[in-house]
């Protein structure tokens, strides 16, 4: 009974790891929801009105999902710089909101600046997005110059709640994230091997579906390998460890690809091409199981 329970837990853990490598989407969702909920709770308890609650929720949301840096220190700097950007943006929105022509012209310029900021990396992208979104929020709630002190307080609370959730409630360390990505790689590798075995056992009417599953598994494994590659510098203690992890991931990925090619070749009279495993719709070798036991199939099964 205990073994069965552990097996179920293991399958669930592998399924979650494979569907969301590093739990990045889950973490982002928890941070965003947590920041919004905490902001609303603080503002509501302080007696802010519904308009300010809406502005606070939207500001907390953008302050959370806009930041994409990998290092915690860089995230803190961007969050700290983002607050003055948000304050200036909401002030301009309140002042220019009553001037239709000037306000619309500035809105177009702001869109250009927000997009152009992407050339300065993650921080430029985040600050541009914060500036644009907060300006839009000021227009959405119909902010006026008289309401600015209250909106400034709302933005300060929103950014503080976002920082609290990011660094204290739902923290992510580079080493922990790399460990979860490696777990996801192993889970996706296991799924790919299962798909390859299903391709080996597939009948003539099931070959196309089985081949698509193998292609999808190969693509997802490669995606996870790239994610690990991008996190090695921050997630490993030294360069030698990073090289070791990189080599092991590359070896496992190459071995899985070669196994897929061997399986395709074993199911056909032609030698399978690498593109068959990577390109959807690529021509596949003529499939068909040979009658009777096949020596290559027996070797592959072992």
| Predicted confidence (pLDDT) per residue in 114-139, tens digit | 999 899 999 999 999 999 999 999 98
165 shares its domain with 90: yes
In sequence order, what are the residues at sequence separation of 6 or more whose Cβ sits closer than 8 angstroms to the Cβ of residue 204?
Answer: 287, 288, 289
132 and 71 part of one domain: yes
Q: What is the pLDDT of residue 176?
A: 92
For residue 49, what is the enclosing H or E element?
none
Percentage, residues of the chain above pLDDT 90: 54
Poorest-confidence range of 39-43, 100-104, 145-149, 215-219? 100-104
Neighbours of 297 (CB within 10 A): 16
Residue 290 forms part of a structural domain: yes
Whether residue 229 sits in one domain with residue 145: no
Written as six digits, the tokens of 238 are 């030294």
In-domain check, residue 9: no
CA distances from 57 to 113, 133, 221 (A): 24, 12, 37
Q: What's the pLDDT tens digit per position in 70-82?
A: 888 999 999 999 9
Contact predicate 267/289, CB 8 Å: yes
Q: Return the DSSP state at 288.
A: -
Q: Encode 60-75: b = buried (16+ Cβ within 10 Å), e = exposed.
A: bbbbbbbbebeeeeeb
Cβ contacts of 24 within 8 Å, gap of 6 or more: 177
**Which range (47-56, 106-115, 198-207, 215-224) has the least confidence?**
198-207
Please give the average per-residue pLDDT across 59-65, as a whole number: 95
Where is average pLDDT lowest: 49-58, 121-130, 230-239?
Answer: 230-239
27 and 153 belong to one structural domain: yes
Please identify, among 169, 188, 204, the residue that sits at the C-terminal boundary of a domain. 169
Instruction: Based on the fold, state whether residues 132 and 245 are members of the same structural domain.
Output: no
**How many independent structural domains does the chain possess?**
2
Distance, in Å, from the CA atom of 37 to the CA atom of 61, rounded to the nearest integer, reads: 10
Mean pLDDT for the stretch of residues 42-68: 94
Q: Domain boundary residue among 126, 150, 169?
A: 169
Give the residue numbers spanning the domain of 202: 174-301
The tokens of 257 are what?
Answer: 């690809």
Cα–Cα distance, 272 to 266 (Å, whole number): 9
Global pTM reads 0.81
Q: Given a cut of 70, is residue 293 above it in pLDDT?
A: no
Does the structure show a pLDDT above 50 at 146? Answer: yes
Q: Is 259 found in the same domain as 164?
A: no
Residue 10 falls within a domain, yes or no?
no
Kindly state whether residue 265 falls inside one of the protein's structural domains: yes
Residue 206 falls within a domain, yes or no?
Answer: yes
- The residue from 137, 152, 169 where one domain ends is 169
User: Tell me, what's the pLDDT at 152?
Assistant: 95
């Amino acid at each position: 009974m205990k073994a069965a329970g552990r097996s179920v837990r293991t399958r669930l853990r592998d399924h979650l790891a494979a569907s969301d490598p590093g739990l990045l989407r889950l973490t982002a969702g928890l941070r965003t929801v947590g920041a919004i909920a905490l902001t609303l709770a603080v503002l509501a308890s302080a007696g802010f009105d519904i308009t300010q609650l809406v502005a606070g929720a939207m500001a907390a949301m953008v302050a959370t999902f806009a930041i994409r840096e990998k290092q915690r220190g860089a995230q803190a700097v961007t969050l700290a710089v983002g607050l003055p950007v948000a304050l200036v943006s909401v002030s301009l929105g309140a002042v220019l909101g009553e001037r239709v022509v000037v306000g619309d012209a500035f809105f177009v310029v702001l869109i250009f600046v927000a997009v152009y900021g992407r050339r300065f990396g993650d921080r430029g992208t985040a600050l541009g997005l914060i500036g644009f979104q907060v300006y839009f929020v000021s227009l959405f709630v119909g902010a006026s110059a008289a309401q600015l002190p209250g909106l400034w307080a709302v933005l300060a609370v929103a950014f503080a709640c976002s920082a609290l959730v990011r660094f204290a409630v739902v923290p992510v360390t580079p080493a922990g994230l790399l460990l979860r990505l490696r777990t996801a790689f192993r889970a996706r590798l296991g799924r790919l091997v299962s798909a390859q075995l299903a391709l080996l056992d597939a009948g003539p009417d099931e070959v196309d579906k089985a081949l698509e599953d193998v292609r999808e598994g190969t693509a997802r494994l490669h995606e996870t390998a790239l994610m690990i590659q991008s996190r090695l510098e921050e997630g490993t203690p030294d360069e030698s460890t990073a090289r070791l992890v990189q080599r092991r991931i590359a070896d496992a990925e190459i071995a899985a690809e070669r196994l897929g090619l061997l399986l395709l070749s074993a199911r056909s009279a032609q030698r399978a091409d690498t593109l068959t495993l990577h390109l959807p719709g690529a021509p596949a070798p003529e499939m068909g199981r040979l009658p009777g036991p096949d020596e290559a199939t027996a070797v592959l099964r072992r």
